[in-house]
Structure 1
Amino acid sequence: MAAAPLMGTPQKTSKNNHQSSYFFALVILSSLFFVWGFITNLNDTLIPHLKNAFSLNYFEALLIQFCFFGAYFVMSLPAGALVKRIGYKWGLVVGLIVAAVGCLLFIPAAMSKLYPLFLGALFILASGITVLQVAANPYVTILGKPETASFRLTLTQALNSLGGTLAPWAGSLLILSTAAYSVTDLSAAEQAAMRLQEADAVKFPYLLLAIALGLLAAIFAALKLPDMREEEEQQALDHEQGGSAWKYRHLVLGAVGLFAYVGAEVTIGSTMINFLELPNIGGFTATDAAKYVSYYWGGALIGRFIGSAVMYYISASKVLAFNAVVNVALLAIAVSTSGSTAMWSIIAIGLFNSIMFPTIFSLALTGLGHHTSQGSGILCQAIVGGAIVPVITGKLADAFGLHAALALPIICYVYIAWYGLQGYKPKH
Structure 2
Amino acid sequence: MKNNYLVVLLVIVTFFVISFITNLLAPIFPALIQSYDIGLTLAGFFPFAFFAAYGVMSIPAGILVQMIGEKQVMLVAFLLALCGSVLFVVWPVFAIAMVALFLIGTAMALLQVAINPLLRSSGGSKHFAVLSVLAQFMFGAAATISPLVYSAIITSDHASTTWLLQLVPSNMTWLSMYVLFALLCLVMLVVISIMKIDNKAARINAERSHFGQSLLLFKDTTVIKFFFAIVAYVALEQGVANSISVFLQRYHQVDPSTQGAQVVSQFWLFLTLGCLLGIVLLKLFDAKHVLIAFSLGAFASLITALFADKALAMMAFAGVGFFLSIMWSVIFSLALNSVASGHGAVSGILCTGIVGGAIASPIVGAISDLSGNLQVSLLILLIPLGYIFSVGLWAKPLVTNHRVAVKTPTQPASLAQNN
The TM-score range, normalised by the shorter chain, is: 0.7 to 0.9
Whether the 8 Å contact between 1:71 and 1:130 is mirrored in structure 2 is yes
- 1:138 corresponds in structure 2 to 117
- Matched residue type, 1:121: A
User: Alignment partner for residue 2 of structure 2, among 16, 20, 23?
Assistant: 20
The residue matched to 1:368 in structure 2 has which SS? Answer: coil
- 2:23 corresponds in structure 1 to 41
User: Alignment partner for residue 332 of structure 1, among 281, 298, 303?
Assistant: 303
- Matched residue type, 1:402: L
Whether the 8 Å contact between 1:72 and 1:127 is mirrored in structure 2 is yes
| 1:47 to partner: Cα distance | 1.6
| 1:291 to partner: Cα distance | 1.0
Instruction: List per-residue Cα deviations over 1:306-338 (Å, max 9, x = no partner).
Output: 101210111111111111111112222233333
| 1:145 to partner: Cα distance | 2.5
- Return the alpha-carbon distance in structure 1 between the equivalents of residues 144 and 396 of structure 2: 29
Structure 1 222/174 Cα, relative in aligned 2: closer, same or farther at 3 Å?
A: same
Matched, 1:399 2:381: no
- Return the alpha-carbon distance in structure 1 between the equivalents of residues 225 and 389 of structure 2: 12
- 2:134 corresponds in structure 1 to 155
Aligned runs of 1:290-329 on 2, under 5 Å? Answer: 290-329=261-300
Matched, 1:349 2:331: no
| 1:98 to partner: Cα distance | 0.9
Structure 1 416/118 Cα, relative in aligned 2: closer, same or farther at 3 Å?
A: same
Aligned runs of 1:375-390 on 2, under 5 Å? Answer: 375-390=346-361
Whether the 8 Å contact between 2:150 and 2:174 is mirrored in structure 1 is no
Whether the 8 Å contact between 2:305 and 2:317 is mirrored in structure 1 is yes
Whether the 8 Å contact between 1:166 and 1:294 is mirrored in structure 2 is yes
Matched, 1:100 2:72: no
Matched, 1:122 2:93: no
Instruction: List per-residue Cα deviations over 1:210-233 (Å, max 9, x = no partner).
Output: 122122112212211232122223
| 1:55 to partner: Cα distance | 1.8
- Matched residue type, 1:326: G
Name the stretch that deviates more: 374-383 or 392-401: 392-401
- 1:55 corresponds in structure 2 to 37
- 2:383 corresponds in structure 1 to 411
Identity of aligned residues (%): 28
- Return the alpha-carbon distance in structure 1 between the equivalents of residues 396 and 265 of structure 2: 31
Q: Point out the structure with max Rg over C-alpha.
A: 1
Structure 1 176/36 Cα, relative in aligned 2: closer, same or farther at 3 Å?
A: farther
The residue matched to 1:198 in structure 2 has which SS? Answer: coil
Instruction: List per-residue Cα deviations over 1:15-34 (Å, max 9, x = no partner).
Output: xxxx2211111112211111
| 1:366 to partner: Cα distance | 1.3
- Return the alpha-carbon distance in structure 2 between the equivalents of residues 300 and 78 of structure 1: 30
- Return the alpha-carbon distance in structure 2 between the equivalents of residues 359 and 60 of structure 1: 33
Structure 1 285/389 Cα, relative in aligned 2: closer, same or farther at 3 Å?
A: closer
- 1:3 corresponds in structure 2 to none
- Return the alpha-carbon distance in structure 2 between the equivalents of residues 395 and 176 of structure 1: 32
- 1:189 corresponds in structure 2 to none
- Matched residue type, 1:62: G
- Matched residue type, 1:27: L
- Matched residue type, 2:102: F
Structure 1: 5+ residue runs without aligned partners? 1-18, 179-194
The residue matched to 1:302 in structure 2 has which SS? Answer: helix
Cα RMSD of the aligned pairs, angstroms, is: 2.3
- Matched residue type, 2:368: A
The residue matched to 2:204 in structure 1 has which SS? Answer: helix
- 1:232 corresponds in structure 2 to 205
| 1:88 to partner: Cα distance | 1.1
- 1:171 corresponds in structure 2 to 150
- 2:409 corresponds in structure 1 to none
| 1:249 to partner: Cα distance | 2.6
Report the count of equivalent residues: 383
Q: Could you tell me the TM-score, scaled by structure 2's length?
A: 0.86
- Return the alpha-carbon distance in structure 1 between the equivalents of residues 314 and 253 of structure 2: 7
- 2:221 corresponds in structure 1 to 249
| 1:176 to partner: Cα distance | 7.8
- Return the alpha-carbon distance in structure 1 between the equivalents of residues 171 and 53 of structure 2: 25
Q: Could you tell me the TM-score, scaled by structure 1's length?
A: 0.84
Matched, 1:271 2:243: yes
- 1:197 corresponds in structure 2 to 170
| 1:203 to partner: Cα distance | 4.1
| 1:247 to partner: Cα distance | 4.4
| 1:154 to partner: Cα distance | 0.9
